[in-house]
Amino acid sequence: MKATCPRLRRRFAAAIAAVALALAAMMTGCTPTPDDASPEGDGKTVVSLLYAGGLDNVKELVESTYDDIEIDFQASTRTEYTSTTERQLLNGQGKDILFANQPSGIVAEYAADLSAYDFSTRYQASIMSSIKSDGRALFLPLPSNYRGIVVNETLLEQAGAGRPQTIQELLDGLRAAQELGLGAAEGGAVIGIDQSDASNLGHLLAGATVPGFLGTVEGESWFLSFQEGGAGFGDEWLPALGVFSALADEGLLDVSRIDGSRNVVRQDDLVARMAAGELAAAFGTLELLGEIEEASEGYDFDLLPYPGDEPDERGWAATYPLSYMALNKELEEPGNEARLDACLRVLDLLSTPEGQRALMRDTSTVGSYLNNFDSGVDLDGTGVEEALGDGYLYFDRFDADMAAQMGAQVLDVMKGSATVEEALVELNRFCEEGPQSAAESHVLVGSVAGDVLVSDFDVRRRETALGNLVADAVAEASGAPIALVNSGGIRESLYQGDVYSDDVARTVPIANEIVVVEMSGRTLLDTLSNSVSALYYKGFPTGRFLQVSGLQMEVRVDASAEKDDAPARAEVVSVRLADGSPVEEDGRYTVAVNAYLCGSAGYADGAGDGYAMLNLYSPDTAPLAEDVRLVDETGMTYADALTAYFERHRDVNVSPSVEGRIVMEGAPS
């Protein structure tokens, strides 16, 4: 593939792991055999897909256009849908239409060749040629956004900074705003990032490098050589890495919001903070600018291109497809003719202006790669208008693995765990050898008797088998008779058969420490009430819902009370211990939770998921808990506890189930 660094193909351990998983799936018989007939005899063919957020407009368009097709949509988060898709494919449970954040990797191995279909020729030749694999069109690009820096012009003018033309002017403006307390959020941060997953951070680093290097003739020559394995990361990348280092070192950017410790997963939070004047700037998109302007009053905003290092360097906007879609080649096998036909019609429809506009509405994007497509986006008056008009728009072609590694190094630099020079060394080592941890991350830790799934955020709405497994693991590892696990820390499924350390890392990826506390029964009941205080069944669910071990609770739910800006009404009716005895308000109970719920990241701006009644660590953002006593800081994470659980139960196939620990009366099924 043209956009893939050839040296990355040396990662034999990862390739062997993929093959082993695929073979295991086949041998254990877990691969479903879909019936190509219509479900329930309703005359419709079901087309399954998984993507971040929702695709309501796509579903409506397809089902209104084709009365014989039904879209079966599974939601994921933007940072996890590709990993989930890969693991579903490796375990024989891949969807019909596949989505991935880059046109490479495991998804490409399962993608059908679309070259023979007319709809693959409707996209711009420049992007299709860059994403083809050995001349085959395996992927179609989704719409895109223009990326740059959203600035609050009002606050920067009040700080005496004006519109920054160079990186140095941007830093000086942010420092001035911070010093005057203008647009300074908690801790003094004045700039944010719209999407903070590793891949996005890598693309952000690339964008910041465009004006001084990647956008030049020398930079393009470097990239072409890099693709062929002839060039590495050199001193040209130091200025951009230095910018991110300065942002973190000077407290201009809150690193805790992007390193996983804050469990911040929604862009809404950044929009609200920018609109309220709590931040002076944000790395983001034209779509982000629009959302901020719609929500704000009294401030003027603009989207600026990435500025250069010198005054005579032109600023550049950057772009890349939000995602890519593909067809599962399993559908080409005999017996799948109806699903194949339905999927081809869906892809054909999505490759029309009408289909692109549906995708754009669902994904909040503004540009399409279809030939001669008029998006109707008004760029008048924006800082990127002149850059785009003069052709200063950079198409980011770094593949997913490379972008993720670049982002990981950006994060290490901002956290202070690596210097900018060390980051470059690690990037070059990655290109030469692949990740050192590839073999280490594929260590067998145990097995599960059947699939233990996360589906449509169910773990954030009700008791699940996977939630019970993690909660039991935390209880067992900590020695506490009760464990409460915030569902926002449970992200991906486990599949039948062997479980490896990288499976565990994906399932519970957030590295918050497990702590053991003693609390009153009243506080325990308040904690459980907070667990059900933000239930959304139609909207995006929060991560505060608790999965439990050592408890049984009944909850009464009024789902009809849910509105766009208000959750369903829910009330805890009863709580009992594992032996059936009720929790007494004046009793004392030993409970395992994690430090995040106890205030390790504070409670401002939605951190801590509202569990201020457990506050042990953050007197600056909420009163300390009066009747909660710290018993033990275990030094373990959810991943450590789950790994230890599998090791202790290595002789059996672990088989968690829903046991009635949490009964949700009145909740939607």
**Tens of pLDDT, residues 186-198:** 678 999 998 767 7
Q: Phi then psi for 498, rounded to 5 degrees?
A: -65, 145
Q: Which amino acid is at 591?
A: V
Q: What is the mean pLDDT of the chain?
A: 88
From the CB of residue 381, how many other CB atoms can be counted at a distance below 10 Å? 7
Please list the helix, strand and coil fractions of the chain in percent, rounded to the nearest 5, in that order: 40, 20, 40
488: helix, strand or coil: helix
Q: Are strands 301-304 and 147-152 parallel, antiparallel or unpaired?
A: antiparallel
pLDDT value of residue 587: 97
pLDDT value of residue 24: 42
Q: Which tokens in the block code for residue 327?
A: 């067809």
Q: Which amino acid is at 586?
A: D
From the CB of residue 350, how many other CB atoms can be counted at a distance below 10 Å? 21
Which region among 334-338, 375-379, 403-407, 475-479 has the lowest average model confidence (pLDDT)? Answer: 375-379
Q: Are strands 281-285 and 191-193 parallel, antiparallel or unpaired?
A: parallel
pLDDT value of residue 434: 64
Q: Phi then psi for 147, rounded to 5 degrees?
A: -110, 145
Mean pLDDT, residues 521-525: 98
> Nearest Cα to 541, choosing from 527, 524, 557?
557
Task: In whole angstroms, give the CA distance from residue 57 to residue 48.
Answer: 15
> Nearest Cα to 429, choosing from 296, 648, 233, 143?
233
Task: In whole angstroms, give the CA distance from residue 85 to residue 50.
Answer: 7
Mean pLDDT, residues 386-411: 85
Asked if pLDDT for residue 363 goes beyond 70, the answer is yes
Q: What is the DSSP letter of 157?
A: H
pLDDT value of residue 178: 95
pLDDT digits (tens, 9 = 90+) for 547-571: 999 999 999 999 999 998 899 999 9
pLDDT value of residue 260: 58
Mean pLDDT, residues 604-619: 92
| Residue 382: pLDDT band with limits 50, 70, 90 | confident
Tell me the sheet residues that pair with 665. 556
Task: In whole angstroms, give the CA distance from residue 100 to residue 196.
Answer: 17
Radius of gyration over alpha carbons of the chain, in Å?
A: 25
Q: Which residues of 455-471 are buried (b: 16+ CB within 10 A; e: fewer)?
A: eebebbbbbbbbbbbbb
Mean pLDDT, residues 413-433: 91
| Residue 207: pLDDT band with limits 50, 70, 90 | very high
pLDDT value of residue 32: 42
Cα of 402 vs its chain's centroid, Å:
17
pLDDT digits (tens, 9 = 90+) for 75-124: 886 666 888 899 899 999 999 999 998 888 899 999 999 999 999 999 99
pLDDT value of residue 79: 62
Asked if pLDDT for residue 23 goes beyond 60, the answer is no
Mean pLDDT, residues 126-137: 88
Please state, for a pLDDT cut of 70, what percent of the chain lies above it: 90
Please state, for a pLDDT cut of 90, what percent of the chain lies above it: 65
pLDDT value of residue 404: 82
Asked if pLDDT for residue 447 goes beyond 90, the answer is yes
C-beta of residue 345 within 8 angstroms of C-beta of residue 66: yes
pLDDT value of residue 22: 40
Q: What is the DSSP letter of 119?
A: G
pLDDT value of residue 3: 37
C-beta of residue 32 within 8 angstroms of C-beta of residue 457: no
547: helix, strand or coil: strand
Mean pLDDT, residues 348-374: 93
> Nearest Cα to 191, choosing from 242, 155, 241?
155
| Residue 435: pLDDT band with limits 50, 70, 90 | low
pLDDT value of residue 383: 80
Q: What angle do CA 207, 384, 310 make, to 5 degrees?
A: 60
Q: Which amino acid is at 540?
A: F
Asked if pLDDT for residue 352 goes beyond 80, the answer is yes
Task: In whole angstroms, give the CA distance from residue 147 to residue 124.
Answer: 20
Residues making up the chain, counted from first to last: 669
pLDDT digits (tens, 9 = 90+) for 625-642: 999 999 999 999 999 999
Q: Phi then psi for 539, rounded to 5 degrees?
A: -90, -175
Task: In whole angstroms, give the CA distance from residue 330 to residue 144.
Answer: 28
Which position has the token pair 């041998």? 27
Asked if pLDDT for residue 596 goes beyond 70, the answer is yes
| Residue 265: pLDDT band with limits 50, 70, 90 | very low
Domains of the chain (ranges; CATH) run 45-141+323-363 (3.40.190.10), 146-321+378-433 (3.40.190.10), 444-665 (3.90.780.10)
Asked if pLDDT for residue 405 goes beyond 70, the answer is yes
Asked if pLDDT for residue 4 goes beyond 50, the answer is no
pLDDT value of residue 41: 45
Q: What angle do CA 167, 168, 172 make, to 5 degrees?
A: 120
> Nearest Cα to 421, choosing from 433, 404, 407, 409?
409
Q: Which tokens in the block code for residue 164?
A: 């920054």
pLDDT digits (tens, 9 = 90+) for 478-502: 999 999 999 999 999 999 988 988 8
Task: In whole angstroms, give the CA distance from residue 318 to residue 72.
Answer: 33
Which region among 153-167, 256-270, 449-463 has the lowest average model confidence (pLDDT)? Answer: 256-270
